[in-house]
Amino acid sequence: MTPTLPTSAPIVIVGGGIIGMSTIYHLAHRGVPAVLLERRKIASGTTWHAAGIVGQLRDSAAQTELGKYTARLFRDLEEETGHSTGYKQNGTINIALGDVRHEQLLRTHDHAGRLGIPSEILSPQQVQEFWPSLVINDVQSGLYVPSNGQVNPLDVTVALSKGARQRGAQIFEDTPVEHLDIRDGKVVAVHTAQGAIATDKVVLAGGMWSHLFGKQHGITVPLHAAEHFYIVTEPVEGLSPEQPILNIVEERNYWKEDAGKLLIGGFEAHGKAWGQGGIAEDFEFDQLPFDMAHVEEDLTRMFARMPALEDMGIQTFFNGPESFTPDGRPYLGPVPEVQGVYLATGMNSNGILNSGGVGLTMAEWLLDGMPSRSMGPLLASRAQPFQANTYYNQARAAESVGFHYGISWAGRQVNSARGVRRVPLHHELVRAGAVMAERIGWEVPMYFDAKQPHWSDKPSLRWKPWSESVQQECLAARDAAVLLDQSMYAKIVVQGPDAVHVLNRVCGAQMDVPTGSSVYTQFLNERGGIEADVTVIRMDDNTFMVVTGHPSQQRDLFWIKSQAPKGLRFEVFDATSAYSLLTLQGPKSRDILQSLSSDDLSNDAFPFAAARQIDVAHARGWAIRRSFLGELGYELLLPSEFTASVHDALFEQGQPLGLRHMGMFAMNACRLEKGFRHFGHDIGEDDTPYESGLGFAVALDKADDFVGKTHVLEQHRKYGSNTPYRLVSIRLLGVTAQEGPYLIHNEPVFKGEDIVGHVTSGDWGFRLQTMVGLATLHVADGVSKAWIDEGGFEVQIAGQRYPIQAQLQPFYDPKGTLMRG
C-alpha cells in the first residue's frame, strides 16, 4: 500500500539528496518529525555518484567545527542506524609544485595547528612513500592530514534516512513537488500530484533543480548544473584501502582509492554547463556522455603525473552533473522573497563533506530562528536579484567548476559573465587606467595603471604586479588627494514617521540624531554579534539612508525588514541604482571640493561626521565627512546622472593639486593602517562590538531597546572593554614589501608558547612603509591594555615565527587628527 501524504507538517523538505536527508535527520534528532518529498528515489540526483572525499579544515574556526562534526557523524551514524556509511579515515595529502603553493601549504599547516587538526609537512620522498608510482621530480612538499577521509555517499544518505525515520520523520519517494502555495508573501502549502501539505516552513534542497524551481516562485537561487568528470582504473594490485587521498591543486585533480581501484577526478579551469534546456523529467541515477575532447588536457596531466596509469587500464569514464554557484559557495538559510522558505542548496561539489554541518545548521535555523555560529559567507540572502538570470548562471557555472582548484590569491580573477553591472563612471574609470575585478556582477576598480591596464595572472603572496600603482595611490591619499568610486556600495532608504524607531531597534548606536548627521553603527543579532557594519545618514526627520557594502545589498534590506517591530509606520527600499558614491580623500580634498562649491566646507561649518546637501560644480548632492582611509575627506552621494559631470569637474580642479584615482587594493591597505575593520574579514556574526573594539558605537543608554542589547549589556557589565576576545592592530617590523612574508589572514599569534589569537587581515601599509594587520587576541580573564602592553607577541607565517607589536589604537594617525582636521 502506498503511504498517504499528511495534510500538514511543521516543516517540508523538497529533495532527498544528502543535504535534504541530513536536514530531516537533524530535525528528527531535535524532536521535530518533518516531511521530505523526493521526486524520484533518494540520492538519485547528484549524491549517488559523488567521490565522497571528506576534508574538515575550513577558513574559520566555526566552519571547521562543522567539518569536524560531519566526520564524527559519518563515523557514529553506522552505530546509530546499523547501516554502513563506508567511512574510513585514510587521510589526505595536498602537494605543492610551485613556490606559492608551497608557502600556502606551510600556512595551512599553521592554520590547522591552531584549529586542532593534526597535520604534517611531507618531503617529496615522503609523498612518494604514500604514492609510489607518482612522478615527484617537481614536487616541493606535501601536507598530510591523517584525520580526513572518505565515505560512500549513497550509504550515508540511506543511513540518514533510516536515522530520521526511526525518530518519526516521513520520507516520500516518487513525489515531485509541483509548486508552493504563497499567500501575503508567506509560504502556506506544498503541492504534489498526490495532494497538498499545509506548512509554514519549506526547505529547498533540490540540488541543481533548485534554480528554476525558485525562479518559478520569485525566489533567487543562483546556481546551474555543470558537468564533473572522473575516471576509474581497473583493480590495482596492492592498492591499500588505507591509501591517503591525493590533491594536486596546481594540476586540478584528486586521486583516491575506490574499492581496490584508483578514482581520479578533475576540476577543469573552464568546465561545461549542463542542462541549459532544463533537466529531463525522468532523470534518475543518470550519468552524462564522457566528453573526451573537453578533458583531454586534464587526462594528459594525470597520465604524466603517473605513467603507470597506462598499464592499469581505465575501466570507467564517468561524467555526472552537479550544481555550481556564481561565487562557489552554497546558499543556506531564509530567503528574503518569501517568508518561511529556506535554501540548502548549491553545493559546488562539496555536498558530501558539508552535509552533516549543513543539516545541523539548517535544523538550528528552522527551530531556533538562527544558527549557533556565523554562516555569513553562505547566507541565502547574499543573492542579488539579477542572479536569478539563468544565462548568467550558465555562463558562471562553467567557470565555478574551476574555483575548486588552481591557486587562490588576491589576484584571482573570473572571466565569465563580466561587465554585467557597471558604475555610472565605468568608461571614465577605464580611460583613467582602471583595472577591474568582478564582485557580484559589478566591475570594481582595483587599481589604476594607465600604461598597463591588465591583470597579471602570475600568483604572488608578496609584492604584486600592481603593488607599485597601489603605492602611488596610497601616497597620494597621504600627501594630496584621491578619488574612489564606491558607487557599487548599497544604499537603502528607510523612511516614514517611525523610521527612527525602526533603526534604533536594528542599530546599536543612537539613531535619533539631528538631521544632517551621519552615524557609524552595526546591526546586531540576538547574541550581540555583528550582522552589518554601516553608515546611516539622517536626511530629514523621517528619512534615513543606510550605506553598506555591495555584498550586503539584499541581506541588510532583509535584516531591517525582518527585525523591525511590527506595527511601525515605515518603508524600506533599495536606492543603490539611484545614487553614485564618490569618495574624495586626502589633505587637499577640502580645497578641491571648496573650489567647486558655494557652501562653507570649513571644519567649523562642516565638521567630521556631518552630512550636508551641497553644491558641487553644477550639481547638488549629499556630502558626508567620513573616511575609510583615515584622511580628511568627503563621501559624495550624488543622483546617478550627475556623477560624470562632478567627476570631470573634480579632476579639472584637483589634478593640479595631485588628485588621482584610487582603487580597492589601496583602500584596503590604507584602512588596515588605520585599523578600520572590514565586515566579513575582521568582524562578523560571532563578534560583538566590544570584542571588535567598536564599543564606542553602542548606545547602551538609548531609550529604544535594540536587538542584541541584553547580550552586549551583560558582556559590558562583566568585562567593560576588556573582553576575552578583542581585535587589535598589529605590525610586523623588519620585513620588506618586496620580500615579505606578508600578513594575509589566519596566521596564528603566539605569546610565549601559547597561541593567543590569529590575524584577521593584513597587508603592506604603504603610507607607513610597514606590514600592518588586525588580529583577534584571546585570554580568558579579558584582553586588557596592560596585558597587550606586556608585549612578547609573535606571528607564525609559513612555519616561521616573527615578533609583532600589538596595540589597541591604529598605527596610522592614532588620535584621528587628520580625519577630524
Ligand X SMILES: Cc1cc2nc3c(=O)[nH]c(=O)nc-3n(C[C@H](O)[C@H](O)[C@H](O)COP(=O)(O)OP(=O)(O)OC[C@H]3O[C@@H](n4cnc5c(N)ncnc54)[C@H](O)[C@@H]3O)c2cc1C
Contact residues toward ligand X (CB under 6 A) are 14-20, 37-40, 44-47, 49-53, 176-177, 205-207, 209, 213, 228, 230, 265, 320, 322, 345, 347, 349-353
Cell of 243: 591509501
Give 264 or 474: the residue with its C-beta nearer to ligand X. 264
Residue indicated by cell numbers 603553493: 101
Q: What is the smallest separation between the CB atom of 97 and ligand X, expressed in angstroms?
A: 22
| Residues pairing with 264 in the sheet | 231, 255
Report, in Å, the least distance between residue 316 CB and ligand X. Answer: 11
Nearest approach in angstroms of CB 54 to ligand X is: 7
Neighbours of 118 (CB within 10 A): 10
Q: Which is nearer to ligand X, 356 or 433 (CB)?
A: 356
C-alpha cell of 538?
539622517
Residue among 177 and 425 whose Cβ is closer to ligand X: 177
User: The C-alpha cell of 798 is what?
Assistant: 609559513
State which residue, 14 or 616, has the beta carbon closest to ligand X: 14
Minimum CB–partner distance for residue 274 and ligand X (Å): 10
Given a contact cutoff of 8 angstroms between Cβ atoms, the answer to whether 156 and 84 are in contact is no
DSSP state of 419: S
Could you tell me the sign of the dihedral formed by the alpha carbons of 631, 637, 640, 641, in that order? negative
Closer to ligand X by Cβ: residue 228 or 590: 228
- Residue at grid coordinates 603507470: 308
117 or 232: CB nearest ligand X: 232
Shortest Cβ 695–ligand X spacing (Å): 41
Instruction: List Cβ neighbours of 463 (8 Å cut-off, separation of 6 or more).
Output: 737, 738, 739, 740
Residue 146 or 724: which CB sits closer to ligand X?
Answer: 146
- Closest by alpha carbon to 228, among 192, 179, 266? 266
**Structural element, H or E, at residue 292:** helix 292-305
- Taking the complex as a whole, the smallest distance from the CB of residue 302 to ligand X amounts, in Å, to 15
- For the bound state, the minimum distance from the C-beta of residue 269 to ligand X, rounded and expressed in Å, comes to 17
Question: Radius of gyration of the chain from Cα atoms?
Answer: 27
User: Closer CB to ligand X, residue 50 or residue 581?
Assistant: 50
Picking from 178, 159, 213, the residue whose alpha carbon sits closest to that of residue 42 is 159
3-state secondary structure at position 734: coil
Pair type for strands 224-233 and 434-439 = unpaired
Residue 417's nearest CA partner among 434, 400, 435, 403 is 400
CB of 26 to ligand X, least distance (A): 14
- What gap in Å lies between CA 249 and CA 798, rounded to an integer? 18
Using DSSP, state whether 308 is helix, strand or coil: coil
Q: Least distance from C-beta 294 to ligand X, angstroms?
A: 14
To the nearest whole angstrom, how small is the minimum distance from the Cβ of residue 176 to ligand X? 4
Nearer to ligand X, 131 or 213 (CB): 213
Are the C-beta atoms of 508 and 522 separated by less than 8 Å?
yes
439-457 b/e (C-beta count within 10 Å ≥ 16 → b):
bbbbbbbbbbbeeebebee
* 216, containing H or E segment: helix 210-216
Give 179 or 431: the residue with its C-beta nearer to ligand X: 179
Nearest residue (CB) to ligand X, 38 versus 250? 38
Least gap, CB of 355 to ligand X (angstroms): 7
> Strand 543-548 to strand 619-624: parallel, antiparallel, or no bridges (unpaired)?
unpaired
Instruction: Report the nearest approach of ligand X to the CB of residue 748 (Å).
Output: 27
Tell me if residue 298 falls in helix, strand or coil: helix
Nearer to ligand X, 53 or 806 (CB): 53
What is the distance between the alpha carbons of residues 292 and 314, in angstroms, rounded to a whole number?
Answer: 13
Who's near 280: CB < 8 A, 6+ residues apart?
286
* Nearest distance, CB of residue 351 and ligand X, angstroms: 2
640's CB contacts (< 8 A; 6+ apart) are 424, 487, 577, 578, 579, 580
User: Of the two residues 74 and 793, which places its CB atom closer to ligand X in the complex?
Assistant: 74
Do residues 52 and 86 touch, judged by C-beta distance below 8 A?
Answer: yes
